């Protein structure tokens, strides 16, 4: 029983408690097995990915600015951590929104490399 509790605590510590945007960048780079590229992240973010949307369709090409959802017109707070300190501080939310938004734009899950690249670019924005 003790071993199960230790394993559960370790899993929670690595998957739930990342608290800064840099923690997520580190996590995604580790999952990808390669360093992130802000240049690739910018290109990925602004390019339509097989569907009618790109990340910028809702978050704008300047994610330091507020956006609007392309379908619902709902207001979206800035995505870049420099403009919105609450972004990328909750692992459950980060995982949920990457999953949902990648499905909307790619019709699939984003790869760890794609997530790392986007995070690197968002962190480079001032």
pLDDT at 86: 93
Kindly state the tokens that stand for 23: 């923690």
Kindly state the tokens that stand for 111: 């790869």
pLDDT at 52: 84
CA 27 to CA 13: how far, in whole Å? 12
Mean pLDDT by 10 residues, the chain (126 residues): 53 59 97 98 92 91 95 95 95 94 91 98 96
- Where residue 115 sits, what CATH number does that domain have? 1.10.760.10
CA 29 to CA 17: how far, in whole Å? 17
Q: b vs e for 62-96, b when ≥16 Cβ sit within 10 Å of the residue's Cβ? A: ebbeebeebeeeeebebbbbebbeebbbebeebee
Domain span at 108: 2-124
pTM exceeds 0.85: no
Q: Answer whether 104's CB lies under 8 Å from 62's CB.
A: no
Q: b vs e for 6-15, b when ≥16 Cβ sit within 10 Å of the residue's Cβ? A: eeeeeeeeee
Considering its fold, how many domains does the chain have in total? 1
């Amino acid at each position: 029983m003790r071993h199960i509790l230790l394993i559960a605590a370790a899993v929670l510590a690595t998957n739930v408690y990342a608290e800064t945007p840099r923690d997520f960048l580190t996590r995604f780079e580790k999952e990808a097995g390669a360093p992130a590229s802000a240049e690739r992240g910018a290109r990925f973010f602004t390019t339509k990915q097989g569907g009618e949307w790109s990340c910028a369709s809702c978050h704008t090409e300047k994610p330091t600015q507020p956006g609007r959802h392309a379908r619902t017109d709902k207001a979206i707070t800035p995505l870049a951590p420099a403009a919105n300190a609450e972004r990328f501080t909750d692992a459950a939310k980060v995982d949920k929104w990457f999953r949902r938004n990648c499905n909307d734009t790619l019709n699939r899950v984003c790869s760890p490399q794609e997530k790392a690249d986007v995070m690197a670019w968002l962190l480079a924005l001032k």
